Structures are given as structure tokens and as C-alpha cells.
A and B are shown apart, each in its own frame.
Chain A
Amino acid sequence: MREKTVDKKSKKNKLFSHEGIDISIIFIAVFLSIFCLVFVYSALAFEDGASKTYLNVLTLKFSDRSLFKTLVYIVIGLGGMLAFSLINFKELKDKPVIGKILFNPIPYYILTCAMFIFIEIMKHVGSDVGGETEKSALVGGGFLLKANGAYRWIHIPGINFSFQPSEVSKFLLIICFAIVIYNAGMCLKHKRGIILYLFLAAIPSFLILKCSSDLSSSLVVFGILFVMMLVAAPDVKNSLTVLAVIAVIGVLAFGFLIAANHGKEEADIHPYQAKRLLAWLYPEDYPASADQTNQAMYAIGSGGYLGEGIGNSMQKIKKLPEAQNDMIFALICEELGFVGGLVVILLYLVLIARMYMIAQNTDSLFDRMIVVGVISHVALQVIINICVVTRLFPNTGIPLPLISSGGSSILFMYLELGLVLNIGKSIERR
């Protein structure tokens, strides 16, 4: 494994190659996407109103339209994943202009920050356009989509396409900071270096929090970048010290929030994060805030071991909010039971294990960092998502990778997997 074979070297010159692709990752991803299609449809299909025609997408009912949209994203994502896995990036690195741009962290970083600064500017500059659906509205001169009071989508007028910059930023920042770590080398050995790194990582995280008021995405992004640093830092003691300091600060902040707000009337508590924190600790005292999690638990509990059968969920009807999105795991558990939930968790575990193998065996620091970034992205989201629906964590909106219905989330998760597959090609399996 340490010495590359002659064959590989000879193929290195080609721009595309499919040799050595880890098929099992593709299979698992497709499995998860099938789960996605089935349960997104199940979550929405109860809405009444029949489709008039199957030819015109705009007249389809909401569930069919969502299914269609998700399917399109999955197909594009699969295509993107295959393309990313086939391209030989090592070849591109040597090209004069493209190589300079692709292997430089600054474009990624600037692109990420620019998206959020754009949101911030349009928030104040653009005029409101009007209601799009029941739950969302077009604002900021038509460039922003606002839902539940947060600006989490950038909308491109004209083609009626919108995407979630926070999902894009995860993808971009993993590449960006993999390059940073690759470049930094021994700089991360000292605490100062680590602090500089974390400072750089904190800026986009802060922008996500500030501009699209999305605390959970912000924490996930910071978490991914932190795990990458943790693995890469030459001196474990230093990085663990920093981790301990951050943990202490975090616990103190939570403690303060709880102490300041506990005992107040539910409606008086601000910010809403404190409400959710308290609802997590004392679900009986804050019924309105705890309701979403309660409904998810009811769904899981009522599913039993084998579930109600696909499509037979009761909770998805008007009770379980975001059943196609953040709460989809509860829906799976209700319809397929404990067994279904276990299968999903095991699929993720196998997916992560495959990527772990690649991370263990890759030669390049840069490659390893990317794989670690993707692993931590998948793992963090899966763990947080499932912990939220089982009330192990306070309620926060994190999609389940590949299964939740968000288009951007699915697409960029596929692209990340494409990168991992690409890296996996270069290692030799036993």
C-alpha cells in the first residue's frame, strides 16, 4: 500500500478514471436516497387535492412536486458525485490557472463569506416582494426566501431556484480548511496557531449565525472544522486544552441562560434557544416549546418494534411539524418501527466506517483532512438529528444527511461523498 503500483502511476495521467471506486459507499448513498424518496413522499402525500395532470409540474399537488424536486436533486447529486469521483484532481493541480484557484483556500473562504454578507445586505436594502407559500415569503428584492423569521435561502429570481448557503458553506469550508491545514503544517503545533485557526473558522460560523440566524448550522460548521483541527494538530495536548476551555465556556453560557430564564413565563423567554434549552430540561413546564419533540417521541413510541407500515403514520398529519425534514427520523420510526430506525443508523455507521477506512489509509494529509471533514459532517448531523428527536439534545433544526428533503443538503452531501470516493480511488484495498 505504501508503494504505488505501476498501473496506478500510468493512469495518473488520465483526467478521468473509475478504477478503485468504493462501490459500497455509492450503494449506501443510493439506499439512503431511496429512504429519502419514500418518506418525503409519505410525509407529504396525505395533503388533500388531486393532481390534475401528470404533464405539467406546476399543477401537481404539493407532495408530488416535492417528490419530483427531491428526485431531481438526487439525480443531479448522483451525477455530481460520480463526476467528482471520476475527475483526477491531481492532474488539475498541475494546470496553471485552475490549479492555482482550486488549491487555494482564499476563493472558497471569500465565496462563503460573500454569500452571507450578500444576505445581510439584501435584508436591509431589498424590498419585500410578497408571500410565496403559506410558510415562506420572498424578500430582499426577490433575492431572499424567508421562512419562520429566518433568512436561510438565497433565491435566484427568474428561474425560481433557491438554495441554502449554509449547506453550500459546509462543502466549501471543508475543502478550504483542508487546504489551510495542509498548508499550515507545523503552525498548528502551538496554542497560538490553534487559536488563529479557530479564529478563521469562527468568522464564517459567526456569519451563518448572524446573517441567517441559524445557530445549529453555525455550530455544525464550527464542529466540523474543529474536529479537522483536532485530528491534524501535531500536539494533542494543546488542542485538548483548547477543547476543554471551549467546553467550559459553553457549559457556563448554557448554565447562565438556564439560570437567567428558568421560572419565567414561556412567552417571555428570549432568545428562543433558551426556551428550547429549558423545554429540553423541563418538558412539562414549557409545553409549547417541548411540543415538537414530544410529538416526535410519540411517533417513535407508537411505531413499536415493527412500525405501522409505510404510509400509515398518524403523527405526520398536522401533528409532527417538518416531518419530511428535521423530523423524518421520527416518521421512519413510526412507519417502520424500531427496526427501521436501526437499519438507518446502521447504514450511516457503515457509510462512516467505509469513509473511516479511506481516512485511515490515504497517503495525503490534504485528502485525509477532507475525508475527516466529511465524516464529521455526516456523523455530527446524524447524531444531533437523532438525539433531538429522542430528546437527548435540546431541539434544534438539523437535517438528516441524504434523507431529509432539503435540496441543497442532499446535493452537497453527494458532492462531498464524491470527493471521498475520489480520494478512495488512490488507496489500495487489501
Chain B
Amino acid sequence: MFESFLKSVLKWIAETLLYWKESFLRMIGAKASDKYGEKDNKSNQQVALIRVLFIILIICFVVIIARLSYIVSYKGEEYKRMVYSQRQASDIVIPCERGSIYDAKGTVLASNIKKYIVILDAKQVMDYSKQMGNSSYIEATANALNQYLGFDKQQIIDFINANPKDAYERISKDENGKVYALDTEELKPLMSAIEASKAKGSKETPILGIQFEDSYSRIYPNGTLACDLIGYVNDGDEGTYGLEQYYETELKGINGRSFGYINDYTNLEKQIVPAKNGNSLILNVDASIQRIVERKIVEMNNSMDFEDRAGSYNTGVIIMECDTGNIKAMAGYPFYDLNDPRSVTIDKYYSEKQIKELMTKFAIQEEYINGISSNIFFEEGKDPYLKVLNEETGKDEIVMLTQEQLNKLDDDLSGYVRDGVWKNFCISDTYEPGSVAKTITTAIGLDSGKLIPQDSFACSGVIQILDRSIHCSHKWGCGGGDLRMCLVKSCNPAYTQFGKKIGKETFLEYTKDFYGIKTGIDLTGEVSAENLVFNEKTLNTTELATASFGQGFNTTMIQMIAGYSSLINGGKYYEPHVVNRIVDENGCVIKNIEPKLLKQTVSETTSDKLKDYCIGVVEESEGTGKKARPAGYRIGGKTGTAQISGVGGYQAGQYVVSFMSFAPADDPELVMYVVIDRPNIPDQSAGAVNQACMLTREIYTEVLPYLNIPMTEPITEAELEELNEKGIYTAKYVIKEETTEVDDDISDEMTGDIIEPANNTNN
């Protein structure tokens, strides 16, 4: 049975093989065969089959046409949209360069450097390695990135394998996925390695798919110089604070684009809309003066080291051109590095004691302290804790601050310090101006005719104004004198009377030109202090009396200097300006910023008188600003010492001292305002204002010769020595006879609180 089956199978195989052999021989023409289809010349069957095939073919074509018309009729709109939406995505952005900032002499204050973002073109690597059939290209790319830039090799290989179609991936990223750029120095070895591997005759595997995209990064070559003035550029390439923010639209520029479109000649035009680089700013500020100012500020602050804290809370200096409103220098201590604004940390700027105070302050704000314990206690080796009174036992209980609360306090602190350091003290901080405001009061009196130079006052040291007693700086009275002498001696009681004479209406009418308005300076962050100034309702007898000598209301430094400048230059109130002109990338001037005269504050005769009075402040033997006179020059000015208002009235022993001055005296060119907020000296009430005067003197001593303003006054041997020490050379000088100066501390403005509640004075 099986055998016969096997036999039949074998037979069938043999037959098949034989058939195949015979057929094969026939097919290749080795043997003749009975031709089919040619016997009757035309096989009807073949013709029929061809016809069937032709019909099938026509059916296929009909189906295709139906499909085409379906796509066109029903999907046309949708697909057209797809086509256009795909187009938009393929544009490439060309980064523009932010405008630079130059000082008046062309010194670069802010500029950009070109950096490169590393792009991985996985598609190119993958295509090439697929084509060549080995993965050594992927390996080579990953190796190069690993060797020169320290990328993880396996990560690169995985990325290429996972995204074979991705032709554009920014791979220079930090842990948070933020793209960063590398500078040329870092990339040089990689660039040359790529070039070498692709060179003709190179034995190495070519490194493919690494590209570099341009990007610009802001640098400030001078670091901290003019930091408050310039501001910085944040991570989002937006200007923050200062000029960078105020002139953001000018500086920013417009990113370019590169995209393709089909022109009339059916070519793809690679249309490049070039990047429009930002315009540059040329400042009125002179970097050399700015540098002198900042150096002097730091020196002054370093010299004031009574307590464990910085030399002052803030020190602001503005130098302005008297006849134009151009800012020559503006500095607000403390400074920070513009190249690394994030490095502002609390430990750098505040002492431990201050930090503890601030922590307590914020703990109260955050309501961690419930009023029983008013302090956070810090002990060695212990976490900060609070003491809370247990009402049942009547004893203090120790409550530890939770980690969460500590973190919150830390956040508050760093936010506080950053805001404080970044903002510009000269325009953003308000304070009570103190005696400097007497110049404005005097000018108002003279200009309105309510005061005449002969008006006099006999000072006995204190005067009662309703419930207040107003002290003179000389405890037992300065003696007073005429208007000029009252200004020179800075007599507070006298000014209460002068204020009264001027009267509320006139005072209000004139002061609205000076206080509580924005000057319009071209810097971000100027405050108007509008709500911190008296008005018709609040200006009563006491307020008028105190406002006359500069207490009881707030101003900013820039308001004071702009107002004072108008008193000196003949009554012209100029808008203070930092930027001189705006130029485009090729240096063509786009906009010239001319001095802008805003208003006439006082008459020229008033101005002349006031100038004379202010010169007296420095020159008279009883003048409060004697110490401000620089060697070889005549200047005028006015001192100011103001109490600081805080929680529960004026703060004991805390003063803002200031000195407003102009130079040279005969033909004023510069106005300078120096403000030191809480100088770190043993007794702020006595002689603190001398710090401001000395700072003024130090700055003038170097700035005036720098500006080639000739010395007019004889100088003493000691002064000559000092000048030589500072490297200031003066060819024409007269040695003055050395006179022994009466070193009377009485000439210092302050000897105690200015304003006190009346009942206290009787003690």
C-alpha cells in the first residue's frame, strides 16, 4: 500500500522532471516544439484575454480618476490649509543684535558678544550612516561631542537613533532644559576637528550633523560701573531696570527671518529679511567721571565702619550739567555686577546683625510672630527660634521655626535685597530732603517778594510751633542774622518763620514745580512721591513750618537736583537726561536728544541772589558746608541733614545727610548732589553731614581738573601736597599763607533732634 503510493509519487516526480527538462529545452529553443498560437496565425483565446486585460485596465483607470476627483472635491480645502500651515513652520529666525551703550567719550558700557548654540542634525548623520551601511558616523559625531564639549556619548547616540528625521535640535542645554550658548573659544577645538575630519584625504570618519547657530549674549565690560544707571538684560533678553528697560524698544532690534517663496520665474527665492540690529545709545554720562564718583563712594563707605554693617544704607551721587540737564554721572551705592545680577545675595550686602533684624521684620510681616515675642532668637549651633508666651503658665515657650517658614523668610530676604540693590537709589528711593530744601524756600520767598534779603531772625536755639518745638542745629542758638546768614548757618527756627511769611498759598504754588512730580528722566523706575508730599489740605501751620526747612515730606534725589539746578542757572528747569543721542548700527544719528526746557521756576535775579547765598554756605566761616570746598576752586552749596521718619515718628539717631553743590561758583557748570543714607559713624546727629561734604570735596577735587575747569583760588601747601598725591597736576597756582583754621564743631549742622514734641523740650 505504502510502497505503491511511494512508487506513484516517485513516478510523478520523475515525470515532472522529465516534463520540465523537455519543456526547458524547448523554451530555450534547443528543441523544436509545436507552436501554439501561430498555427492559426491568431489565437482567438489570446485576443480575448488581451481584451479582458484591457477592460480591467480601463476599470483601474476609472477608479484612479474617481479617487483623484474625490481628493480634489472633498479634501481640497483641508489639504490646501495643510500646505500653508506647513510652510509657516519652516521659517528660520535670524537673531538680531541688541544695541550697545556708549558713554559720551565712546567708552563701551554695554555690548554683545557672539556665542553659538550647538545644533545636532540627527537626520544628516542617520541618512549618511544608513547610506553607507554602518553606524560609525553616529559614533564619530557622538565621540566628537563627548570629547570636546563633554556631552554624554550614549545619550547622543540614543537621540540620533530615536529621532532619525530631526534635522534641528538644540543640544546645548542645562539640566532645566534652558538653551545656553557657548563662546568661540570653547568651540574652536570642535570646529577644527570637524573641518579636519571632512578634509580631502582625511583618514578619520567625517564628523557630521553638528552645526552652530549664532546667538548674542550681553556683556558689560566695566562690570559694576554705572550699574544702577544701565540696568541689565534678563534671561528672556529683556532689559530690566535703568536704560536697558527704558530704551528697550530702541535697543532691542527686530529678529530677521529666512524663508522661501516662489517668485514669478518659478524659482524658490530664499528670501532673507535681515535682522534689524538694535540702535545704540550714546550717553551724556562720562565713564571717567562715573568711575571717579563710584570709587570715591566706595572709599567713603569703607571709611565709615563704626558698626558691623556697610558704610551706609545707600549712597547716591548725581552730577548734572547745570545748563542742559545732562546727567554726567549717577551712582547709587551699593553696586552690583551687571554681568551677573543674580549674584546679589543677602550675605554680600548686609551684616549678620542686619539680617537678623530684617528676618524679624519679615517674620512680623508674615505673621509668624504673634506679638508676644518680638524677636527671633539666634544662638550658636541652634536653629532660629521664637519665644511665645504661654498664657496658662505665664512662661515663655520656645517655638522653633519650621523649615517652610525659614524658606519663606529666605525668599523674602533675597527678594528684598535684590530689589534694593538693583533699583536706582537716585530716582526710586524717597526720603525727607532736610535743609537742602531751604534753598528752595529761600528762592520762593525772594521770587514772590514775600521775603527780602534784609529779613532777619534772631535764633535762640529752639522755637515752639503749636505742639512742636523746632531746634536749631546749634544747641544754644546760632544767633541768626539776615536771610543769607540764616541759610549759611542753616537755622531751622528762622525758616519756620520765613515759611510763615511766605504763606501757604504762595508756598504751595511754587513748590508744585519742585516736589511730588516726576522729572521725566529717561530711566525706568522714577517715582513721583506725589502721595508723600503735602497738599492744600495737609499743609497746616506745623507742616508749613517743617516743610520750609525740608522735613515732613518726601522727594527723590533727581527731583531735588533738577529743582536746585534751576535755582542756580537762572530759573530754567531742564528735564534731566541720560541719553545724548540714539544712533543706528552704522553710527548714523537717528535721534538727537536736545536739552529740554520745561519751565521757568524763579527769576534770574532770585537765582543770582541764591547763588551768592550758597557760595556763602561754603565760604563763610560759620557756613555749614565749609568742608566741601575742593582745593583751588570756589563752589557753592547747601548741606542737609534730615531725620528719618518710620514706625512711630522720627527714628532716633538715624539721619539722611546730603550736600547739594554747584561748581565753579562764578559760572556754574556742574551741579552735584550727594546723599548718604544713615552713615555708619559713631554719632550720626553730630557732624554726619561732614561725610557728605567730604565726599563732595573728594569728587570735585578730581572731576573739576578732569573737565579742564581752571583753578581760580590760591591753594595751601597741604592742599598742593594732597593734589600731588592724587596725581593732579596744576601749573598755575598761588601758595596761600597757612592760616590756622578754627576747628569749631559748632559749624556742624546738627547737634540733636530737629523736631520734637513740645513737652519733651522742657526736660
Q: Is the CB of A301 within 8 A of B27?
A: no
Please tell me if A26 contacts chain B, counting CB pairs below 8 Å: no
Residues of B within 8 A of A59 (CB): none
Q: Is the CB of A372 within 8 A of B50?
A: yes
Q: Is the CB of A338 within 8 A of B266?
A: no
Give chain A interface residues in 381-407, CB to chain B under 8 Å: 383, 386-387, 390, 392
Q: Is the CB of B53 within 8 A of A231?
A: yes
Please tell me if A259 contacts chain B, counting CB pairs below 8 Å: no
Measured between alpha carbons, how far is A169 from B566 in the docked complex, in Å? Answer: 98
Give chain A interface residues in 357-380, CB to chain B under 8 Å: 359-360, 363-365, 368, 372, 375-376, 379
Q: Is the CB of B50 within 8 A of A356?
A: yes
- The interface size bin for chain B is 35 or more
Please tell me if A104 contacts chain B, counting CB pairs below 8 Å: yes
Please tell me if A267 contacts chain B, counting CB pairs below 8 Å: yes
Closest beta carbon of chain A to B555's beta carbon, Å: 63
User: Chain B 579-613 against A: per-residue CB contact (8 Å), 1 yes, 0 no?
Assistant: 00000000000000000000000000000000000
User: Chain B 130-160 against A: per-residue CB contact (8 Å), 1 yes, 0 no?
Assistant: 1111000000000000000000000000000
Please tell me if A166 contacts chain B, counting CB pairs below 8 Å: no
Residues of B within 8 A of A136 (CB): 131
Q: Is the CB of A300 within 8 A of B64?
A: no
Please tell me if B162 contacts chain A, counting CB pairs below 8 Å: yes
* Stretch in A14-22, A45-53, A413-421 touching the partner: A45-53
Please tell me if B24 contacts chain A, counting CB pairs below 8 Å: yes
Q: Is the CB of B46 within 8 A of A310?
A: no
Please tell me if B647 contacts chain A, counting CB pairs below 8 Å: no
Please tell me if B374 contacts chain A, counting CB pairs below 8 Å: no
**Would A301 and B80 be within 8 Å (CB), given that A192-B16, A192-B20 are in contact?**
yes
Please tell me if B37 contacts chain A, counting CB pairs below 8 Å: yes
Q: Is the CB of A185 within 8 A of B35?
A: yes
**Would A46 and B71 be within 8 Å (CB), given that A301-B79, A360-B47, A392-B63 are in contact?**
no
Give chain A interface residues in 3-19, CB to chain B under 8 Å: none
Which of B16, B22, B60, B130 has the most C-beta atoms of chain A within 10 angstroms of its own C-beta? B60
Residues of B within 8 A of A379 (CB): 57, 60
Closest beta carbon of chain B to A383's beta carbon, Å: 5
Q: Is the CB of A390 within 8 A of B24?
A: no
* Stretch in B83-91, B169-177, B708-716, B737-745 touching the partner: B83-91
Measured between alpha carbons, how far is A32 from B247 in the docked complex, in Å? Answer: 63
Closest beta carbon of chain A to B84's beta carbon, Å: 8
Number of A-B contacts (CB under 8 A): 209
Residues of B within 8 A of A200 (CB): 27
Please tell me if A148 contacts chain B, counting CB pairs below 8 Å: yes
Please tell me if A156 contacts chain B, counting CB pairs below 8 Å: no
Measured between alpha carbons, how far is A135 from B268 in the docked complex, in Å? Answer: 21
Q: Is the CB of B262 within 8 A of A231?
A: no
A300 touches which one: B72, B86, B165, B269 (CB < 8 A)? B72
Residues of B within 8 A of A348 (CB): 61
Residues of A within 8 A of B130 (CB): 148-149
Q: Is the CB of A193 within 8 A of B23?
A: yes
**Would A300 and B49 be within 8 Å (CB), given that A137-B131, A345-B64 are in contact?**
no
Please tell me if A312 contacts chain B, counting CB pairs below 8 Å: yes
Measured between alpha carbons, how far is A131 from B208 in the docked complex, in Å? Answer: 13
Q: Is the CB of A234 within 8 A of B131?
A: no
Q: Is the CB of A298 within 8 A of B83?
A: yes
* Stretch in A65-73, A176-184, A275-283 touching the partner: A176-184
Please tell me if A91 contacts chain B, counting CB pairs below 8 Å: no
* Stretch in A78-86, A111-119, A314-322 touching the partner: A314-322
Closest beta carbon of chain A to B141's beta carbon, Å: 16
Q: Is the CB of A232 within 8 A of B68?
A: no
**Would A230 and B49 be within 8 Å (CB), given that A46-B266, A338-B68, A390-B67 are in contact?**
yes
Please tell me if A203 contacts chain B, counting CB pairs below 8 Å: no
Please tell me if B75 contacts chain A, counting CB pairs below 8 Å: yes
Please tell me if B760 contacts chain A, counting CB pairs below 8 Å: no
Closest beta carbon of chain A to B666's beta carbon, Å: 70
B28 touches which one: A46, A183, A315, A337 (CB < 8 A)? A183
Q: Is the CB of B46 within 8 A of A232?
A: yes
Q: Is the CB of B27 within 8 A of A317?
A: no
Q: Is the CB of A368 within 8 A of B67?
A: no
A183 touches which one: B33, B84, B164, B269 (CB < 8 A)? B33
Contacts A/B (CB < 8 Å), 27 sampled: A2-B41, A46-B262, A47-B268, A48-B270, A148-B130, A183-B33, A184-B23, A187-B22, A189-B36, A227-B53, A231-B49, A297-B71, A301-B71, A304-B76, A311-B262, A311-B266, A312-B266, A333-B68, A337-B72, A338-B68, A342-B65, A348-B61, A349-B58, A356-B50, A365-B43, A386-B68, A392-B64
* Chain B residues at the A interface, C-beta cutoff of 8 Å: 16, 19-20, 22-24, 26-29, 33-38, 41-43, 45-47, 49-51, 53-54, 57-58, 60-61, 63-65, 67-69, 71-72, 75-80, 82-84, 86-87, 90, 127-128, 130-133, 161-162, 164-165, 260, 262, 265-270
Give me 7 other A-B pairs in contact (C-beta within 8 A), A301-B75, A338-B72, A345-B61 excluded: A45-B268, A103-B29, A193-B23, A234-B37, A267-B162, A297-B75, A390-B68
